[in-house]
Every structure is written in structure tokens, then in C-alpha cells.
Amino acid sequence: MKARKFAQLGVPSGAAMKAAGTAVRRAREAGIPKKSLPDIITAVVENPEDYLQDTIFGDLADALIVAEAESPRFKPRESPAPFRIWGEGLDHNAIKQMENAAQIPVAVRGALMPDAHLGYGLPIGGVLGTRNAVIPYAVGVDIACRMKLSVFDMSPHVLGGEQKRLSNAIEKETRFGTGVVFQRKDRRDHAVMEADWGVTSLTRRLKDKAWAQLGTSGSGNHFVEFGVLEVLDEEAGLPKGEYLALLSHSGSRGPGAQVANFYTKLARELHPELPKELTHLAWLDLDSSEGQEYWNAMQLMGEYAAANHACIHKHIAKNLGAKVLLDVENHHNFAWKEEHDGETLIVHRKGSTPAGQGVMGIIPGSMGAPGFLVRGKGNDASLHSASHGAGRRMSRKKATQSFTWSDVKKYLRERNVTLLSAGLDEVPMAYKDIHEVMSAQSDLVDIMARFDPRLVKMAPAGHRPED
């Protein structure tokens, strides 16, 4: 019987695994049928005290008892870390995930944004400050996913008269979908590919894949869209009025996902004591080599995600012969070292926008609802954070079961929105009311401008979400 089979039966590695091998040999010598051994070993694992005097399985029983005594035990905080909730009627599963996160010993305090919904480990819209530790799944799978807004020196009237020209620019200058790449002759150039991709052995292996995907847009809720930006406050950086703007949402693509999954698995292996409901909150100590590896890889993925957007906007602007009047971007799905409560915390914002005092950011609605250019108020109760969008009000599966393309086309037509492609799981009706979300966080951000989408491109149906 092999080690993998012993592990499946619940035998821990080390002395107990070795004792299990010895027990199996003794059992076979004693004439016990091979097919009976899995059931017997399972019984010993479940109740080792009953087999301590057994001549064949006694040593295994003793090793199991010792292993159980020496195994690490999860010790939650003496009292849960405090966190505050913005918004009403939030998904109870998202709240439960924040309550779980508040139990882990490295947690200090957190916040839950009004767009919150269920995620892996930390909910989407969750903010968590930790002490000298980073949690890969509290950062998220799509590391450094971000928003970027470019305002062009073109009249917004081209959205009506030259829509084909705009749609051709999107279709030509980026790619949508899981795993999509640019062919070698069309690959984009950016300084990020000259960065040190050898910060970890994993990122070194991912460099060529990253180059192939540089400037692509991904799937799920990722998009590139043209719309009308109405500047409401000149402190946004432009005179009041209406402008043609390009807005994009995507992240670090396949390389970011591989970094996230690799280091989450590693964190879980380092914390076998965590109960099932907390395994996705396994952390890496920043004083450890593993923690430093992930931190450096995360920083690189942040640079790479920014480069993806830079390439998309640069090439679309060049395609149109447009000049950029204003450029704003921000990222979420990241961890920052920040000062709060008189100490340095690692602030995880999973689907949450940085909203420090005076910090500009973009909070989108949906393909059929406006987004907003905002300026943070630096509210310390939210750890200087705000929502990263409207947030889903129903799952992707429920959305595809609840609506038809006929429903969607009518909805978008009434709002003067042209959809180039998307999956039915991303229909605007699957999202919360962005106006209610913005109202719930008026103490976190000021609205500087409003963006109304008019020409929207997302990955076609059938692509696995990456958000």
C-alpha cells in the first residue's frame, strides 16, 4: 500500500506513515486479506486507543496518538477583530466570511463595503488589516485587478456618428477571453517585460506567458468600453462638461492567477491547523522567505496589470489618433503596507478601492449603469477604502437562468448602450443599484465625475470568469 493511499485513509506523514507500512506487512504475513486492510486502517485511525494492545496494529495506533498530540491546534483570537459594515441587506454569506476572517490570529480590524458579495476566503468588497502577514486569497486570484480611465480630445458625439470606428479600435487593439494571447508578431512592448521576473522561480517561468498576454483583457466582469464622462467638479482635472472617455477593467491575467493559486496552496500547507472554513485565509508571515516571495511576486503582478491597461489605452488612442487629456487609474485585489492606529498594517483590499484623503479612483456600475470618478475622504473606519463597483446581487448561474438576451437588448436599448459581446452572466440586471451603493458610502468618497457607458466589449459567453 502506497503513501498516497495511507494519506487518503487519514494517516499523517512521518512516523505514523512508516508505522502504517510496517503494520500492512505484518498483516499480510499473518494472512489478513489485502482487500480488508483499508477498512482496518481506517478503524485504527478513527479509534487508535482501541488498538494499542494489538500485536499487528499497536505501533500504528501509538504513532497516531503521538501525531495527534503533536499536531498544531488552531488558536483563534481571544475576541474577534472588529469590522464595520457599509450598506444594508448585504449577502449573509459575505458577512459570515468577514466574521471568519476576524477570527484568525493575524487579523487586526476590517471593513465590508456596500458592494460586498461571496468570494473565496475574504468576500468581494472585504477589507482586512493584518499584522505582519499577507493572505494570498484575501488579495484575490486576479492580483492587482484595476480600473483605468482615459479622457480623449474627441467630441462625445462620435459615439453616435462614428461608433463603427470606435468598435473597430477596441476589437483590433485588445483581446478578450480566458487564455487569449497576441501572436508573436503582434506582441506589445512595455518596460514591465524588462523588470526582474526572477524574483521567484515561478514568475521566471511565467515571463513568456505574461508577454503573450500583455495588453489583453480577460473574461468575467472585465471590459473595455467607450462612454460619456460628465465632469462635475473641476478638481477632477478638467473643466466641467462632457468628454469622450475610455474605461477598462482587468488585471494580471493568467500569470496573476498562477501566482495566487501557488502561494495559497503553500500557505495552506504551512497552516494545517486551520479549520475547513478558514483554509482560504491561510497566511504567509512577512518575516518568512515564503512571505517575501509572495510579496515580491504580488508587486510584480501589480506592475504587470498596470502595463496591460497602459497598452490597451495607448494602442486605442493611437488607432484613433487621439490625445489623452486626463488619465486616472486605481487597483484593487492587492495588499498595501499602511499606517493605521499607530502601527503598520498589511491592508488587503479584495474588490475594494483605495480611498485615502484626496486619492482619485474609479467605481464602475455595470454595462447599463453609470460609473463614477471619485476622490477619497480618508475615512479611517473603512481603512481608507470604498467599494470597487456596484457588486453582484445574484450569482452567475442565477443570472443565466433568470434573463434572456431579449431582456438584455431591450434594457440596453433604453439606455442607449451598444454591446459588442458579453456573457449572459454579466447582464446589468445581475448587479446592485449603483446609486444605492454610492449613497451608502457618501462618507468614504466624493463624486467628481460621472461616466455613462455607450459602447461595451466583454468576453463572449463560454469563458471562465477570472474576476
pLDDT per position as a tens digit, 302-345: 999 999 999 999 999 999 999 999 999 999 999 999 999 999 99
Three-state DSSP class for residue 160: helix
Instruction: Output the pLDDT for position 139.
Output: 97
What interhelical angle do 201-213 and 289-320 show, nearest 10? 10
| Three-class DSSP category at 451 | strand
Mean pLDDT within 65-79:
84
d(CA 128, CA 263): 18
Q: Is the pLDDT of residue 449 over 80?
A: yes
Among 119, 53, 111, residue whose Cα is nearest residue 260: 119
Query: Of 272 and 117, which is predicted with more confidence?
Result: 117
pLDDT in tens, 12-23: 888 999 999 999
Whether pLDDT at 346 is above 90: yes
Best CA proximity match to 307, nearest among 171, 434, 213: 213
Report helix, strand or coil for 229. Answer: strand
What is the band of 8 on the pLDDT scale with cuts at 50, 70, 90? confident
Q: What is the Cα–Cα distance from 292 to 270, expressed in whole angstroms? A: 15
The answer to whether 164 and 257 are in contact (CB under 8 A) is no
The helix (run of H) or strand (run of E) holding residue 139 is: helix 136-139
Q: Which positions are annotated as active-site residues?
A: 388
The DSSP bridge pattern shows strands 352-354 and 343-350 to be: unpaired
Q: Which CATH class is domain 137-458?
A: alpha beta
| Residue 312 · residue 217 · CB < 8 Å | yes
Of 10 and 385, the structure prediction assigns the larger pLDDT to: 385
Q: What is the pLDDT of residue 436?
A: 97
Cα distances (angstroms) measured from residue 7 to each of 24, 33, 266:
14, 20, 18
Per-residue pLDDT at 465: 63
Confidence of residue 466 (pLDDT cuts 50, 70, 90): low
Q: At 238, phi and psi to the nearest 5?
A: -140, 155
- 246 and 327 in contact (C-beta within 8 Å)? no
Q: Above pLDDT 90, what percent of the chain?
A: 88
Q: What is the mean pLDDT of the chain?
A: 94
pLDDT of residue 467 exceeding 60, the answer is no
What would the mean pLDDT of 175-188 be, rounded to a whole number? 92
Percent of the chain with pLDDT over 70: 99
| Model pLDDT for residues 113-133, shown as the tens digit of each residue | 999 999 988 999 999 999 999
DSSP code per residue over 13-55: TTHHHHHHHHHHHHHHHTT--GGGHHHHHHHHHH-GGGGTT-T
Cα(377)–Cα(357) distance, integer angstroms:
5
Mean pLDDT of 286-315: 97
Higher pLDDT, 71 or 288: 288
Of 440, 350, 311, which is closest to residue 125 (Cα–Cα)?
350
| pLDDT at residue 218 in the model | 85
Residue type for 95, please?
A: I
In the chain, where the domains are located:
3-70, 137-458
Within 10 A of 259 (CB to CB), how many other CB atoms are there?
A: 26
Give the pLDDT of residue 13: 80
pLDDT mean over 157-164: 94
Report the C-alpha gap between 357 and 127 in whole angstroms: 17
Residues 76, 104, 85, 390: what is their CA dihedral angle, to the nearest 10 degrees? -150
Give residue 69's identity as a one-letter amino acid code: A
| pLDDT at res. 120 | 87
Q: What pLDDT is recorded for position 68? A: 81
pLDDT tens per residue across span 194-212 = 999 999 999 999 999 999 9
Q: Where are the extended beta strands (E) located within 86-182?
A: 107-117, 124-130, 133-134, 146-152
Q: Give the predicted TM-score (pTM) of the model.
A: 0.85
Mean pLDDT of 142-170: 96
* Residue recorded with cell 506567458: 209
Sequence-separated (6 or more) residues with CB below 8 Å from residue 362: 147, 148, 149, 247, 328, 329, 330, 353, 371, 372, 373, 374, 451
Does pLDDT of 253 surpass 90? yes
CA neighbor of 437 nearest in space, from 118, 112, 9: 112
The pLDDT of residue 2: 75
CB 109 within 8 A of CB 83: yes
